[in-house]
């Protein structure tokens, strides 16, 4: 069974920084793309950033220049460094990974971690 474990959320003042981590564990064969989504109250879940297995990245316009996604393939871990945080970044952040178990690739989700940006 594959699990994604997130950490690093919390309360931060506007302009501050946080670093989210998400580690995959279990009987996995390989990990393809990994990414971070977020969902604010009353809004749909949206893609924040993603990274392929060879390091190609995508960022939503709202976070370009402020957030950086990276991954450590040896540790099956993806990170999201969030700088210059704004109140509108407040949301539950979810890790997503496309993981192959035996011979089939499926998307997996973490449990979510709360990020609150407030003074």
87-106 residue pLDDT tens: 999 999 999 999 998 888 99
10-59 residue pLDDT tens: 999 999 999 999 999 998 889 999 999 999 999 999 999 999 999 999 99
Alpha carbon 119 to its chain's center: 24
Strands of the chain (E only): list them: 3-7, 10-12, 18-25, 30-39, 46-51, 57-59, 67-72, 77-82, 91-101, 104-109, 113-117
Of 25, 21, 24, which is closest to residue 69 (Cα–Cα)?
Answer: 21
pLDDT score for 103: 85
58-83 residue pLDDT tens: 999 999 999 999 999 999 999 999 99
Res. 5 pLDDT band, cuts 50 70 90: very high
pLDDT score for 48: 98
- Rounded CA-CA distance 114/20 in Å is 10
């Amino acid at each position: 069974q594959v699990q994604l474990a997130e950490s690093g959320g919390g309360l931060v003042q506007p302009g501050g920084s946080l670093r989210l981590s998400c580690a995959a564990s279990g009987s996995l064969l390989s990990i393809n793309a990994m990414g971070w989504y977020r969902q604010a109250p009353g809004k749909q879940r949206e893609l924040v950033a993603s990274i392929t297995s060879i390091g190609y990245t995508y960022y939503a316009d709202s976070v370009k220049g402020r957030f950086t996604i990276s991954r450590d393939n040896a540790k099956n871990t993806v990170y999201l460094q969030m700088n210059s945080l704004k109140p509108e970044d407040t949301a539950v952040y979810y890790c997503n990974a496309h993981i192959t178990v035996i011979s089939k690739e499926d998307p997996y989700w973490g449990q979510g971690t709360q990020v609150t940006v407030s003074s």
